[in-house]
Amino acid sequence: MRSSKIAGCVCFLLVLFFSAHWSLRAQTQNLAERLGYPADAKLLIIHADDLGLAHSVDQASFAALDQKAVTSASIMVPCPWFSEVASYAQAHPEADLGLHLTLTSEWKTYRWGPLASKDQVRGLLDPMGYLWPDVPPVVKNASPEEVEREIRAQVDEAIRAGVKPTHLDSHMGTLFANPAFFAAYVKVAHEYGVPFFAPRVPNAPKEILALGEKTGFLLDGFAMAGDQLKPEGWQAFYASVLRSLQPGVTELIVHLGHDDAELQAIAVDHPAYGSAWRQRDFDVMTSPAFKKALEENHVVLIGWSDLKKLL
């Protein structure tokens, strides 16, 4: 009996030793090394936002995923075309699909509301009963408890529909606009066992950087086309992103869609991230020129499912 107890203690101590060893090793390795790559590897997640927004967005995003032109995507669960994405997820269990947690409804004549009961998230509602059209009113009116309630409702609905999310991120960055919102975001991600998008950027609030570093892992950077980009500069912009890519893990966020009647109606008076914008993103991401630029710049493509394995 005594020798059995001693053996048990030895095993327990060995487990503690190796756990501490691997924990210390993880702290001294950068994210690329933790994924099994050299420290100077340039790893890129090409990520499509806004699935579920429209049939046009879904079809373009599915095509890009199938062609491996993007390596991950995320879903807006409150939007009308969510069920189409859920069906795709069930038919393509290998697809790297996260949740684009949605607390705003920004289009002029195409709106949606929360999934949680409206009487439990009143601070998230504009006077018409939809989600606010921009981030500042959410920060001003919503409580962290209401935010947590709504994002939980979105995760639960996705899981009920058969989606197995690879990660969480934030539509329009709302969850980064208030440290208490970010804390709710991290809490939910940990409870559901999925990684969350949070980049290491110079202008991020210190509380957010500290919490992100403590509770998960921060991406080394991210890139996304901005409002000032001219149509004629689209290809050059994305080529410059690849040329300037630094070692580590970067996420390139794109917005895909087809410039058709449906998406034109949704994006009326909203050229930024509108139908023509999304068509240009789709055209570049699926082009031979972009694929060649990836190879020439020695970029390694990964997805959120790779990062999820670190958990």
Q: What is the CATH number of the domain that holds 110?
A: 3.20.20.370
Taking phi over 0 as left and psi of -120 to 50 as alpha, with beta for the rest, 199 belongs to beta
Half-sphere exposure of 72 (CA within 13 A, CB side): 29
Using a pLDDT cut of 70, give the percent of the chain over it: 91
Look at residue 5 and tell me if it is in a domain: no
DSSP assignment string, 265-284: HHTTT--TTSHHHHHHHHHH
pLDDT at 7 exceeding the cut of 80: no
Is 92 within the bounds of a domain?
yes
Q: What is the pTM of this model?
A: 0.90
Considering the domain boundaries, does residue 16 fall inside one? no
Answer yes or no: are the C-beta atoms of 131 and 200 closer than 8 Å. no
In a domain, 42, yes or no: yes
Express each pLDDT in 234-292 by its tens digit. 999 999 999 999 999 999 999 999 999 999 999 999 999 999 999 999 999 999 999 99
Number of domains in the chain: 1
Q: How confident is residue 9, by pLDDT bands cut at 50, 70 and 90? A: very low
